[in-house]
Structure 1
C-alpha cells in the first residue's frame, strides 16, 4: 500500500483520485484550493484525509498526483510557497495530469531532479466521462524508471498509460490530440449541418458513414446531441481554448503550421461570445445553425 497525495479535485481530479483510492486501498491525503471539495471527497469515499497545503499533503508521500488548471496553478502547487516540492522526500514521484505547456513540464522536471524528485508530465484524454469511468488515456513524458513505478497506480483510472518520451513529451502529445480534435469537430459540424440542409435522414446517414472511413469517437458520441443542439455537458469550450492557445504557442516555437487549428480557435471564440464558454466542444455546430437560422 503506497502513501499517496492528490492535489486538485476538480471535475477530473475528484473521480480520478477516487478510483486510485477505491481500487488500490492506498493511504491517501488530498488537497484542494477550496477545502470544502477536499472534505466532500473524503466524505464520499469514506476514507483518506485532507491537508491544508500542498506541502503538507505531500509530506513523506511516495507518489504525489496533481490535476490543476494551467501553468501558473501548477507552479503554485509545486514550487510556490507551501508547494508540494517543499514537502516531498528524495526518491518520490510527482505525476502531473494538468494539461499545461511542455515548457513548464521541462522546468519542473529539472527542478525536481535537483531535489531528487522524479517528475512525470502525464496529461489525459477522455474527458469527465472517462475520468468517472476510469477509462482515460494517459500520455506521459519523463524518465523510464519512475514511469514504470507509477504506471500501475495510473492504471487505476485509465485504460491506456503510455510513456511517449522524455520530459515534455506527454504535453506535446496532448497538443497533438487537441489539434486533431479541433479540426475533426469542425468537419463533423459542417457535415451534420450540410445533411440537415439537404433534408437527409440523419439517423440513417450516421449509421451508414460511421461504418466507414469517416468514423470517429466524436461522431459516435456527439452527432445526436449536436443535431439536437444540446451542449450542457462534456469538455468546455473555455478549456479547449486554453489548450489550443498552448498548441499555437508551441507551434510558434517549433515552426509547425496550424492554419486549421488557428481558424477553429477563432470559431470557439465566437461560441464564447454567444455565452457558450461552458458548452461542450461539439458546440461549434451552433455557429452554423445560427447562420442557417439567420437566412430564414
Structure 2
C-alpha cells in the first residue's frame, strides 16, 4: 500500500520512521516541514495531497480539535478504498462522527489509540487499541505491524479511543501518585533505589515505578513522550467520557490537580514525567536527583 502520514511530531515521526525502515515510501505532511524530513518521509504540500497519493493515511495529532480540522481538509479527497487510521488520543463521539463522514464517501476509518511512549514508538513496539471493522483492521495490519508489538481489536468505531482514554487515566493516576510518593520518600531521607525496589516487589508496583522512576531518580526524564498539557487533556477527556456514561469519577481530582499544577508552574510543554518536579516545587524545591547523579546518568 501507498502510505501517507499526517502529524510527524514526537510520536508520529517515530512511527513514520518505522514504516520507512519497513521498506515503504511515506508521503508526509506536518506543520513543521523539518519533522517530515527527520522521519525520512517524502514531503507533501497539503493534507489533501497526502490523501490523493496514498492508499492508507495515518494521523497522529494532538487532540480532537486538530483531528477534525485535518479531516475537513481530507474529506474532499476521500474516495472508495481509502483507509484512514487515527492514532491520536481523541474524543470517541468525534471519532464515531468522522467514521460516518468517511463511510459516506466509501472510505474506511479506524481509531487506533497507542500506548508505550516514545521508546516503544522508536523500536516499533507500541500497543494499539483499535476500533472499527475487523476486516478493515486486517487491511491495515501490514502497516500497523511495522510499529506495533500488540494490536487489539476493541470493538466498533470509537471503541479504540475509548479504551485509550481508560488506559491513559490509569497511567495518569499511577504517574502522579508515584511522583508524590517519591517526593515524600526523598524528604523522608530514604534511599530512592531501595524505595523503588520495595515498591516493585510489593502491591504499590505500577508502570511508573517499573519504567519511569528508575530513570527519573538519576535525572533522565525520558524526554519525547506525552507532555503535561496533553496528559491533562487526556484526563479531562476521560472525565467527559465518564460523565456521558453516568460513571462517578471519584478519582480524577488527583491527576487533574497534579498535571494542571505542572502546567501552571511552567512545565506545560515538558514531558509529563516532570510532574514530579512540579510536586517537588510545592514541597520545598525537592528534586529526586542531584547534579552529580545527572552527570553520571
Shared fold per TM-score greater than 0.5 = yes
* 2:55 maps to 1:55: no
Q: 1:134 aligns with which of 102, 124, 138?
A: 124
Aligned residue number for residue 22 of structure 1: 21
Q: What CA distance in whole angstroms lies between the structure 2 residues aligned with 1:249 and 1:205? A: 35
Instruction: Give distance in 2, aligned partners of 1:154 and 1:286.
Output: 35
Cα deviation, residue 152, structure 1:
2.3
Q: Deviations over 1:158-216 (max 9, x none)?
A: 11111101000111111111110122123212322332233322212322331333222
Q: Name structure 1 gaps, 5 residues minimum.
A: none
Residue in structure 2 matched with residue 165 of structure 1 by the alignment? 155
- Give the stretch that moved more between structures: 137-146 or 216-225: 216-225
Partners of 2:260 and 2:78 lie apart in 1 by 40
Return 5+ residue gaps in structure 2 as ranges.
287-297
Runs of 4+ in structure 1 off by over 3 angstroms are: 224-232
Farther-moved stretch of structure 1 (283-292 vs 97-106): 283-292
Match of 2:243 in 1: 252
TM-score (norm 1): 0.88
The answer as to 2:25 corresponding to 1:34 is no
Once the two structures are TM-superposed, the CA of residue 231 in structure 1 deviates from its matched residue by 4.3
For residues 249-268 of structure 1, what are the alpha-carbon distances to aligned partners after superposition, in whole Å with 9 as ceiling and x for unaligned?
21221112222223321221
Paired residue secondary structure (2:97): helix
Q: Which segment is superposed worse, 248-257 or 154-163?
A: 248-257
Cα RMSD (Å) of the superposition? 2.1
**For residues 1-296 of structure 1, what are the structure 2 equivalents within 5 Å?**
2-23=1-22, 25-38=23-36, 40-41=37-38, 45=40, 48-59=41-52, 61-78=54-71, 80=72, 83-227=73-217, 231=221, 233=223, 234-293=225-284
Task: Quote the Cα distance in structure 2 between the aligned partners of 1:109 and 1:268.
Answer: 31
Which sits farther off after the overlay, 54-63 or 96-105? 54-63
State the Cα distance separating 1:94 from its structure 2 match: 0.6
Task: Name whichever of 187-196 and 102-111 sits farther off.
Answer: 187-196
- SS state at 1:269 partner: helix
- SS of match in other structure, 2:5: strand
| Offset of residue 104 of structure 1 | 1.2
1:237/1:274 CA distance change after superposition, 3 Å: same
Deviation at 1:26, TM superposition (A): 2.3
Q: Give the conservation status (yes or no) of the 8 Å contact 1:182–1:261.
A: no
Equivalent position SS for 1:275: helix
Q: Do the aligned partners of 1:123 and 1:140 also contact (CA within 8 Å) in 2?
A: yes
* C-alpha distance in structure 1 between counterparts of 2:34 and 2:186, whole Å: 46
CA distances 1:249-295 after superposition (whole Å, capped 9, x unpaired): 21221112222223321221111121111233233333443343279
* Deviations 1:65-112, CA, capped at 9 Å, x for gaps: 11112212112222x2xx223223302211011111001110111111
Distance 1:202 1:168, change over 3 A: same
